[in-house]
A = this chain, B = another copy of it.
Amino acid sequence: MCELLGMSANVPTDICFSFTGLIQRGGNTGPHKDGWGITFYEGKGFRTFKDPNPSCDSEIAELVQKYPIKSRSVVSHIRQANRGKVNLENTHPFTRELWGRYWTLAHNGQLSDYHSLETGRFRPVGQTDSELSFCWLLNKLEQKFPEPPTDMLAMFQYVATCCDELHDMGVYNMLLSDGEYVMTYCTNHLYWITRRAPFGKATLLDEDVTINFQEETTSNDVVSVIATQPLTGNESWSRMKPREFNLFHHGDLVLSNVEQLKDVAFAAAKPGNQAPTEKL
């Protein structure tokens, strides 16, 4: 088991608070001592910090925790190795270019018979089922859409279909981003929360830290956080269902394959058109 942390926001936002909670699980309050990584997008560019050492005593994790890098899309992971040695090339997240954008994935779970997955020209560098299945996913996307897709909705629906295939091979909880959108897929453990005005206080479960978002935000800010387990004790996190695929854009959940959201989702998936708050 590993732990995932993702963020989608409508304004560049720092994730220090949530990351502080997450890294405690990297060998301290949690058993995930086999490395950690975090990717921040800034425009179409990204920066990744990763370390095969436990996050709870990583100097680099300490920097990330203190240094408020502001981003609208973040993908993070702490690892408890099952497939693949503990080393840098097996440390999530993994980033590859497709259609002139950088795609970043972090996976939690374990797949069976994954060596049969055809990755085409996207060759894995490490030995994890996660990276190999990411290469497979990108190869499927490129074969389906040789040119950058104009019908984004069709593309996202295809991503969901591919995730279903991986779900059927084992446990596939994942976060995926192209810098603009954050996609999530759940097999068994994934929660999310959207914070918007009026903002309140939140207290971390893993460390004695409380933050007053009111002081950190403006009334227009919308920020969604996705995590394997809720990170705060005094907020209500929504649990994702098995086979649930969600798409976050600028902080809002805009598309989901969950029935009751479908209508919202399809409308919301049109550029600039976001899901009405009350339906989320």
Contact = CB atoms under 8 A, between A and B. Distances in A.
Contacts of A63: 59-60, 63
A262 interface: no
A97 to B, nearest CB: 6
Interface string A123-153: 1111000000000000000100000000000
A211 interface: no
Contacts of A50: 47
Contacts of A271: none
Nearest to A69: B60
Contacts of A91: 45
A87 B45 contact: yes
Interface stretch (A98-106, A108-116, A190-198): A98-106
Interface in A23-72: 42-51, 59-60, 63, 67
A100 B125 contact: yes
Q: How many copies does the complex hold?
A: 2
A198 B38 CA distance: 42
Contact of A121 (B60, B87, B121): B121
Contacts of A142: 121
Interface string A80-93: 00000001111100
A266 interface: no
Contact of A122 (B89, B97, B126): B97
A101 B121 contact: no
A44 B97 contact: no
Given A59-B67, A67-B59, A96-B97, A125 B87 contact: no
B126 A45 contact: yes
12 contacts: A42-B88, A43-B87, A44-B89, A44-B126, A46-B88, A47-B48, A47-B51, A97-B122, A97-B123, A97-B125, A102-B125, A121-B121
Q: Which 5 A-B pairs give the minimum distances between C-beta atoms? A: A45-B88, A45-B89, A100-B123, A44-B89, A42-B88
Interface of A: 42-51, 59-60, 63, 67, 87-91, 96-97, 99-102, 121-126, 142
